[in-house]
Amino acid sequence: MRALIVLVSVSLSMLLTACSNPRQEVTVQLANEVLLPAHQQWRDSNAALVDAVETYCAAPQASADDLETAFYQAQSRWSHLQPLMVGPLSEGNRSWQVQFWPDKRNMVVRQTESLLDEADPLTRAQLEKASVVVQGLTAFEYVLFDESVALADSRGRYCPLLTGIAGHQLALSESVLALWNEPGGMLAQLRDFPNERYATADEGLAAILRTQITGVDVLKKKLGTPMGRLNQGVVQPYQAEAWRSRQSIENLQASLQGAQAVWERVRSLVSDAALVKDIDQAYAAVANQLAALPAPLMVLVQEPAHRETLATLYAALDNLENRQQTELARNLNIQIGFNANDGD
C-alpha cells in the first residue's frame, strides 16, 4: 500500500509539472507526434524507393509506373518534412544531399552526365564521393522524367545511379532517425530541459517555430522564383521545383501540411482568439488556392491569364508568414529572429 501511495504521488507530481508548463507539454507533443513521425515516414518512403528501383532495374521489360509512384511519395515526404527539420537534418549539409534546388546553372544535368561518363558502370562508392548535386532526388528526377533521357533503353547507364541515389537516401534518413532516437538525441533534447542544446522548453519551442516559419518562407521562394519575383519579373518556368515530374504544386501542398501540423499544436498556447482565427484562415486560404490551381506550376507561370491567381497565392503565403513571424511570436513572447532565407 505504501509503495502504491508513493507511485500515485510521483504520478500526480509529474502530471502537475506538465500542466504547470503547457509550453513544455506542447513542445514534447510536437517532438513525439509531429517531428519524429515525419522523419520516420521520410525514412519509410526511401525504403520503398529502394525496393521500387531494384524491382524496375531487375526486370528489363518492367514499366516505370511503380518507380514513379515511389518517387512521388519520397518527394512528398521530403517536402512535408522541410518545415519540420529541426536538428540533425538541418546540419552538416544533409538537406542538400536530399534535394539540390534551385539549380540555376543546370548543374544537375551536367554533373550527372559527367559522372556517368567518367564511371562506367557507376559504383555506390563513387556516388558517395561525388557532389551532393548528383546524390539526391533532383538527379533522380532528372533521370526518371527528363525527355532527353531514354531510361527504358538506357538502363545499363542509369540504373546504377538510380540504385545508388535511392540507397544513399535510405542511409541518410536512417542515420538522421538514429540521431533522433539515440540517448540524449534530438527527441530527448525536445523533451527534457535543460540540455546541451536547449536551456528551456521556450528555446525548444522557438527553434521549432523558427524552422516552421522558414519553411513557409521557402514556400514563397518556390512559388516566387518561377513567377519571376526574384528575377525582375522575368518568368522562369524551369526554375520551378520538380518541374520535370510536374509535382511542384503537390510539393507545396505537402510542405504546407507540415507547417500546419506545427500550428495545430501551438494554437492552444495563443491567448488572442482573434489571432488564432486569423492564422487558421490564413492556412485555409493558402490550402484552398493551391488545391484550385488547374495545371502544373511551370505551365501556369507561362500563361498571362494565371498571373493574378498566382500573385494572390503569393500574397496569401506572405500573409501567413507575417502573421506567424510577427504577431504569433509577439503573443507567445518568443524571439523568433530572422529566418534562414531573410535577404534572399
Kindly report the CA angle at 24 between 23 and 26, in degrees rounded to 5? Answer: 65
Q: Indicate if the alpha-carbon torsion angle 256, 257, 261, 267 is positive or negative.
A: positive
User: Could you tell me the pLDDT band of residue 112, with boundaries at 50, 70 and 90?
Assistant: very high
Separation between Cα atoms, residue 246 and residue 295, nearest integer Å: 9
The cell numbers describing 324, all together, are 506567424
152-189 pLDDT, tens per residue? 999 999 999 999 999 999 999 999 999 999 999 999 99
pLDDT of residue 10: 38
126 alpha carbon, distance to own chain's centre? 27
Cell of 46: 526511401
Q: Could you tell me if 47 and 225 are in contact, meaning their C-beta atoms sit under 8 angstroms apart?
A: no
With CA atoms as reference, report the closest residue to 222 among 74, 46, 344.
Answer: 344
| pLDDT higher than 80, residue 222 | yes
pLDDT, average across residues 304-326: 97
Report which DSSP code applies to 145: H
pLDDT score recorded for residue 13: 40
Across all residues in the chain, what is the average pLDDT?
A: 92
What are the DSSP calls for 18-54, one per residue?
Answer: HHH-HHHHHHHHIIIIIIHHHHHHHHHHHHHHHHHHH
pLDDT, position 191: 96
Mean per-residue pLDDT, 297-318: 97
Q: Strand runs (DSSP E) across the chain, as ranges?
A: none
Q: Specify the range with the lowest mean pLDDT, choosing from 13-27, 64-78, 267-281, 288-302.
A: 13-27
Q: Give the confidence band of 60 by pLDDT, cuts at 50, 70, 90.
A: confident
In contact, 103 and 131? CB cutoff 8 Å: no
pLDDT at 337 (0 to 100): 63
Report the C-alpha gap between 26 and 193 in whole angstroms: 13
CA-atom Rg of the chain in angstroms: 22
Residue 316's nearest CA partner among 295, 291, 334 is: 291
The reported pLDDT for the residue numbered 45 is 98
Q: Where are the alpha helices (DSSP H) in the chain?
A: 2-20, 22-29, 36-58, 65-81, 94-98, 107-118, 124-129, 137-145, 155-181, 186-189, 201-227, 248-266, 273-292, 297-300, 307-322, 329-332
pLDDT band (50, 70, 90) for residue 117: very high
pLDDT for res 3: 47
The cell numbers describing 118, all together, are 567518367
Q: Is 112 exposed, middle or buried (0-12, 13-18, 19+ CB in 10 A)?
A: buried
Q: pLDDT tens for residues 256-277?
A: 999 999 999 999 999 999 999 9
Residue 115 has pLDDT above 70, yes or no: yes
User: In the predicted model, is pLDDT for residue 150 greater than 80?
Assistant: yes
Task: Name residue, grid cell 488545391.
Answer: 291
Work out the pLDDT band at 119, boundaries 50, 70, 90. confident
Instruction: Enter the DSSP assignment of 294.
Output: -
Q: What is the pLDDT of residue 20?
A: 63
Share of the chain above pLDDT 90, in %: 88
